[in-house]
Amino acid sequence: MSLTLEQSTALCSLLSDVSRLRLLLLLERHELSVAELTEVTDLAQSRVSTHLARLKRAGLVQDKRAGNAAYYSALSHDGEASTFWNLLRGTLDDAQARVDSERAEQVIARRKQGQTWAESVAGRMELHYSPGRTWEATARALIGLLSLGDVVDLACGDGVLAELVAERADSVTCVDVSPTVIAAARKRLCKIANVRFVEADMHASGLPSARYDHVFLMHALAYTREPKAVLQETARLLKPGGRLIVAALAEHTHEETMRAYDHVNLGISPDKLRRLLGGCGYTVESCRISSHEPRPPYFGVVTALARRS
């Protein structure tokens, strides 16, 4: 096998991902659909589809139709990718791969039991696509239960949250330090009358004190070296009894991710966030790691709800 530097780099990149290696090992032994691979590996369906597309382009995977489903299997030939994979394959012996294979056997056995779609994905339904079943659709349905009054979306980004809550609020004030981001939010929300925009730092927004019923601080704490100052600002903005809603990346050790997304810290623990909220005059109603991402490195998300004393 003779490869250029560019070709060898591309192959190393292709086969450097743990999830793709898991899929290849599975597909050498089993013919599986995207839904089945999602069930076996616990990877998000969109990620499985993306990995399969790359492996198919490299000539390592093939698919075939069977009714309404497409089934994937490993493809063996004499190409560079296949030769490279075979060299690597001979050195692999991994406990996760053995678990994956056992789960695949169980999935295949269930194919013949005549299950409905819901039955086949029960227990992991959130990982599978179903028409109309999205987190956004669920959130939009549930938001109708709320009456939010006057809202501040602090470090609002391009207005995704404001768009969601505006119909249940008397007013929404979007605050962000970036003029580019504020411009994008204005464009997104230009047809919504009860939204206004303020270009300001989340540590000192310049908004009036004790004016608002709810403050949202969604995924903003990763961008501050002074989380207490930000939380003090939220407390200043809220009326007595007003509520703060926080979502933040849980404490982690992945410095490369921090740099890639311009974060300035490595997340926050629920205990630390709870202490800071208490020190800023809040009564903490809940503060915990409420979810983990479904793919490595499985980042956790801390959510908190606190009331201004």
- Taking the domains of the chain in order of start, what are their residue ranges? 5-122, 135-308
| 237-278 confidence digits (pLDDT tens) | 999 999 999 999 999 998 988 888 999 999 999 999 999 999
Query: What pLDDT shows up at residue 209?
Result: 98
Note whether 171 and 162 are within 8 A (CB).
no
Residue spans of beta strands (DSSP E) within the chain: 32-33, 61-66, 69-74, 149-154, 169-176, 195-199, 212-218, 238-249, 282-292, 300-308
Q: What is the pTM of this model?
A: 0.67
Under the banding of pLDDT at 50, 70 and 90, the label for residue 112 is low
Query: How far is Cα of residue 230 from the mean position of the Cα atoms in its chain?
Result: 24
What is the Cα–Cα distance from 151 to 238, expressed in whole angstroms? 9
Q: Is a pLDDT exceeding 70 seen at residue 114?
A: no
Query: What pLDDT shows up at residue 2?
Result: 65
* AA letter at 221: L
Q: 267-276 as b/e, with b when 16 or more CB fall inside 10 Å?
A: bbebeebbeb
What is the Cα–Cα distance from 218 to 31, expressed in whole angstroms? 42
> Regarding predicted confidence, which is higher, 113 or 218?
218
What is the Cα–Cα distance from 155 to 109, expressed in whole angstroms? 50
What is the Cα–Cα distance from 299 to 258, expressed in whole angstroms? 12
Please choose, from the candidates 44, 10, 2, the residue with its C-alpha nearest in 3D space to the C-alpha of residue 19.
44
Please determine, looking at this structure, whether the domain spanning 135-308 carries the CATH number 3.40.50.150. yes
Interior CA angle at 187 toward 184 and 192, to 5°?
125
Pick left, alpha or beta for residue 132 (phi over 0 → left; psi -120 to 50 → alpha; otherwise beta).
Answer: left
| Mean pLDDT computed over 227-234 | 98
Q: Is a pLDDT exceeding 60 seen at residue 1?
A: no
Tell me which architecture the domain covering 5-122 has in CATH. Orthogonal Bundle (1.10)
Between 9-13, 68-72, 81-85, 144-148, the lowest mean confidence (pLDDT) is in 81-85
Query: What pLDDT shows up at residue 257?
Result: 83
| 151-170 confidence digits (pLDDT tens) | 999 999 999 999 999 999 99
